[in-house]
Structure 1
Amino acid sequence: MRTVQTSPVELAPPLRLVDVSKRYDSGAGGEVVALSHVDFAVAYGEMVAVIGPSGSGKSTMLNILGLLDEPTSGRVELRGQPTVGLTEKQRTDARRESLGFVFQDFHLLPTLTALENVRLPTAFLPGDATDRARDLLERVGLGDRLDHTPDELSGGQKQRVAIARALVNEPDVLLADEPTGNLDRETGTSILEEIRRITDEEDVGVVAVTHDDLVTDYADRTVELVDGVIQDG
Structure 2
Amino acid sequence: MTGDADADAGAAGVSDVVPPLRLAEVTKRYEGGGGTVTALSDVDFAVGTGEVVAVVGPSGSGKSTMLNLLGLLDDPTEGRVELHGEPVAGRSERERTDVRRETIGFVFQDFHLIPTLSAVENVRLPTAFLPADATDRAVDLLERVGLGERLEHTPDELSGGQKQRVAIARSLINEPDVLLADEPTGNLDRDTGVSVLEEVRAIAAGGVGVVAVTHDDLVTEYADRTVELVDGVLRDA
Normalised by the size of structure 2, how large is the TM-score?
Answer: 0.92
* 1:124-171 per-position Cα deviation (integer Å, ceiling 9, x unaligned): 112121111111100100000000000000000000000000001000
Matched, 1:229 2:208: no
Aligned to 1:20: 26
Matched, 1:159 2:164: yes
Aligned to 1:54: 59
The structure 2 residue matched to 1:206, chosen from 184, 207, 210, is 210
Tell me, yes or no, if the aligned pair for 2:226 and 2:236 is still in contact at 8 Å: no
Superposed, 1:116-155 pairs within 5 Å as 116-155=121-160
- Give the unaligned 5+ runs of structure 2: 1-12
- Give the unaligned 5+ runs of structure 1: 1-6
Matched, 1:171 2:176: yes
Name the amino acid aligned to 1:193. Answer: E
The structure 1 residue matched to 2:94, chosen from 79, 89, 113, is 89
Instruction: Report the CA distance between 1:228 and its aligned residue.
Output: 0.3
Instruction: Report the CA distance between 1:10 and its aligned residue.
Output: 3.4
Instruction: Report the CA distance between 1:8 and its aligned residue.
Output: 9.7
Q: Secondary structure at the match of 2:17?
A: coil
Name the amino acid aligned to 1:70. Answer: D
CA distance in 1, matches of 2:102, 2:128: 13
Instruction: Report the CA distance between 1:9 and its aligned residue.
Output: 9.7
Q: Percent identity of the aligned residues?
A: 76
Q: Which moved more, 1:19-28 or 1:204-213?
A: 19-28
The structure 2 residue matched to 1:217, chosen from 197, 200, 221, is 221
Q: Secondary structure at the match of 1:231?
A: strand
Aligned to 1:4: none
CA distance in 2, matches of 1:94, 1:208: 20
CA distance in 2, matches of 1:199, 1:12: 17
| Larger CA Rg, structure 1 vs 2 | 2
Normalised by the size of structure 1, how large is the TM-score?
Answer: 0.94
CA distance in 2, matches of 1:113, 1:232: 41
Q: Secondary structure at the match of 2:79?
A: strand
Aligned to 1:195: 200
Instruction: Report the CA distance between 1:198 and its aligned residue.
Output: 2.5
Could you list the runs of 4 or more consecutive aligned residues of structure 1 that deviate by over 4 angstroms after TM superposition? none
State the number of aligned residues. Answer: 225
CA distance in 2, matches of 1:77, 1:153: 37
